[in-house]
Amino acid sequence: MMLRMRQLQTTAADFESEFQRLLHWSAEADHAIEQRVLEILADVKRRGDAALLEYTARFDGVEAATVAALEIGRDELRAAFESIPVAQREALQAAAQRVRAFHERQLDHCARSWSYRDADGSLLGQKVTPLDRVGIYVPGGKAAYPSSLLMNAIPAQVAGVGEIVMVVPTPAKGSVATGGSGLAAATTGERNVLVLAAAHVAGVTRAFTIGGAQAVAALAYGTATVPRVDKITGPGNAYVASAKKHVFGQVGIDMIAGPSEILVLADGSTPADWVAMDLFSQAEHDELAQSILLCPDAAYIRCVREAIERLLPQMPRRDIIRASLEGRGALILTRSMEEACDISNRIAPEHLEISAQEPQRWEPLLRHAGAIFLGAFTSESLGDYCAGPNHVLPTSGTARFSSPLGVYDFVKRSSLIEVSQAGAQVLGPIAAELAYGEGLQAHARAAELRLDAAGTAPAPPLGDFNVRAVDASNAEALMALAVAPGQRQFVAAVDRSLAQAAYEPAGRALGLYRGDVPVGFLLLYDARLDKDEPAEQLYVWRLMIDARHQRQGLGQQAMRWVFDEARRLGLREVGLSHLMEPGHAGAFYRKLGFAYTGKIEDGQHKMLLTLGQD
């Protein structure tokens, strides 16, 4: 029978509509399945072990007195490993070693804690810790995938997860789970020895012969026997996928996987039989799997189609492959390899093979794919079993925003923040300003209280602090003072301030001292002498504390001196203004009693303090 597989051309007028039809697949579960799953989840959550035993008997045909009887001991896992042929043992161990080596490197690159200290001595970082316990769902019955067990359990083990709990259905012959009438009953179901052997190799801690939505519920909520986990990973049927979706939030999950996919990007240089078999490799999973070839060579596409027709009758799963290729497969003729890359990015396939002579030439153009296989010798099946990278991949276009399963799925990240006393002075005003803007006064005050603590303790004795007029004897020393790096957008250097004061009769330049050591600069303005808007006010034109003498309470002592000076001059108001930019000193001045007037001039927000009576 001739294969009725789509052939599309990007130059065709109807390509876009046909392309969209090809990609259409609904991830929505059947309403009846959804309702049944919700009932099972609620029942297991309510009745625990009793419900689990009931559903295992009903669907898997396995009757047990207790859930403990459904647990597989670690000795049995080891015995299963020792019972399989030597070739299988060696293959499992070789695959596990490669998967483990890859994920150990992944751990080093993206799942380690790190921290640093900023210029103010504050520690900032990220603490990475493994999850305490994870659950791994392993399909059983007709579908037995020891490779999936390796791919799920080994990254968890490498991440340092404390306990790995496997659930695997072991339905009895004739049970509902095997497509039977459900009348069959047994005390144990059919256990796949290769899966149990893989569990031993992968380091599974506990294993239960339960499956379906009821197993997901047991892992998510916990029962008297099955421990509650922090995350559930692993593939399953529609009931399992629906259950994982509904328990998300109670626990983490890896993803909701759709049908398997492969996209082959070919330049015509790979033997057609190889590409045909690669397309089969995903089509044989199930009828909804998708296999697509993108190629700019029409003659090569014909060769691949001929290979498909010739090889298909030889395949044991030919009926499933045919249904998949006819239902969701396609051979697409593109204008160029560049266009093929663009189309691939729109599809965002699970598996992407670049079957070309120069795969590195095309790889940079490919942005969205679960896994990219470079070169003719890199068949997707090698990635499924033993290359090393994880074969649990995003499907149904979710590679646009999702990643393969990895060590990072079995750890969590906590931010580390240790603010130094100096850092509190930099961050406090920023946090307070934003908090006041959001109307969260307690947030603001919490930040400002740290300013109080750091800005006034230990404060030097007031008698040690003194203020002197700037003259020829001290100007040079004062001009050597340095503005702190975080304040340069707010405060001009001393030499510039002195130049400004020289041309302003109302200005008054002052040096701030601790003993005989210059520690800052103050520029006052007597607003009574202002030519345009005279006012009964002493204006703080500029206040600068030397970078080497920050956070010693000197700014606060300088402002106390200003208050006293205003009183001496018979003035009851002190004014100032500042730019409303991150790091400004508004919170510091507010603490001293200043309030914003609501006036803004040249970008400067004005503040005013009314002095009380002595």
**Does residue 463 share a domain with residue 395?**
no
214 and 360: one domain? no
- Domain shared by 392 and 319, yes or no: yes
Give the total number of structural domains in the chain: 3
Report phi then psi at 285, rounded to 5: -65, -55
Give domain status of residue 441, yes or no: no
Structural domain contains residue 263: yes
Question: Of the candidates 253, 286, 305, which is a domain's last residue?
Answer: 253
Are 476 and 514 members of one domain?
yes
Residue 464 has a pLDDT of 85
Mean pLDDT (the chain) is 91
Tell me if 422 is assigned to some domain. no
Answer yes or no: is 445 within a domain: no
Query: Distance between CA atoms of 229 and 391, rounded to whole angstroms?
Result: 23
Q: Is residue 119 part of a domain?
A: no
Interatomic CA distance for residues 522 and 509, integer angstroms: 6
The range of the structural domain enclosing residue 370 comes to: 258-401
- The residues, any chain, with a CB within 8 Å of residue 357's CB and separated by 6 or more, are 267, 269
Is pLDDT larger for residue 121 or for residue 85? Answer: 85
- pLDDT value, residue 433: 87
Top-confidence residue, 489 or 102: 102
Same domain, 242 and 307: no
Whether residue 182 has pLDDT greater than 60: no
pLDDT band, very low/low/confident/very high, at 602 (cuts 50, 70, 90): confident
Percent of the chain's residues with pLDDT above 90 = 70
What's the pLDDT tens digit per position in 471-499? 889 888 888 888 876 777 777 777 777 77
In a domain? residue 8: no
What lies within 8 Å, CB to CB, of 160 at 6+ separation is: 130, 411
Query: 253, 268, 294 — which closes off a domain?
Result: 253
Percent of the chain scoring above 70 in pLDDT: 94
Shared domain check, 475 and 374: no
Q: What is the mean pLDDT of residues 267-289?
A: 95
Same domain for 492 and 510, yes or no, is yes
Name the least confident of 83-92, 140-149, 297-306, 551-560: 140-149
- Establish if 568 belongs to a structural domain: yes
| Range 347-355 average pLDDT | 97
Reported as a single tens digit per residue, the pLDDT across 423-453 is: 888 898 889 889 988 989 899 889 988 885 5
The answer to whether residues 240 and 281 belong to one domain is: no
What is the pLDDT, as a whole number, of residue 297? Answer: 97
Higher pLDDT, 462 or 316: 316
The CA dihedral of 564, 569, 572, 574, to the nearest 10 degrees, is: -70
pLDDT of residue 454: 41
pLDDT band (50, 70, 90) for residue 142: low
Domain boundary among 368, 401, 434: 401
According to the 3-state scheme, what is the secondary structure of 273-299? Answer: HHHHHHHHHHHCCCCCCEEEEEECCHH
Sheet holding 252-253, edge to edge: 71-72, 206-208, 163-167, 133-137, 231-233, 252-253
186 has a pLDDT exceeding 90:
no
Residues 182 and 327 in one domain: no
Q: Are residues 378 and 264 part of one domain? A: yes
Nearest-10 Cα torsion for 8, 9, 13, 15: 50
Same structural domain for residues 386 and 500? no
**Best CA proximity match to 279, nearest among 353, 369, 368:** 353
Q: Does 498 lie in the same domain as 579? A: yes
Q: What pLDDT does residue 453 have? A: 53
Count CB-CB contacts under 10 A for residue 39. Answer: 11
State the CATH number of the domain containing residue 74.
3.40.50.1980
Looking at residues 185-191, what average pLDDT do you find? Answer: 73
What's the pTM? Answer: 0.74
Per-residue pLDDT tens over the stretch 198-256: 999 999 999 999 999 999 999 999 999 999 999 999 998 889 999 999 999 999 999 98
Structure tokens at 551: 């956070």
Residue 375 falls within a domain, yes or no? yes
**What is the CATH classification number for the domain harbouring 487?**
3.40.630.30
- Residues forming the active site: 350-351
Phi, psi of 271 (to 5 degrees): -50, 135
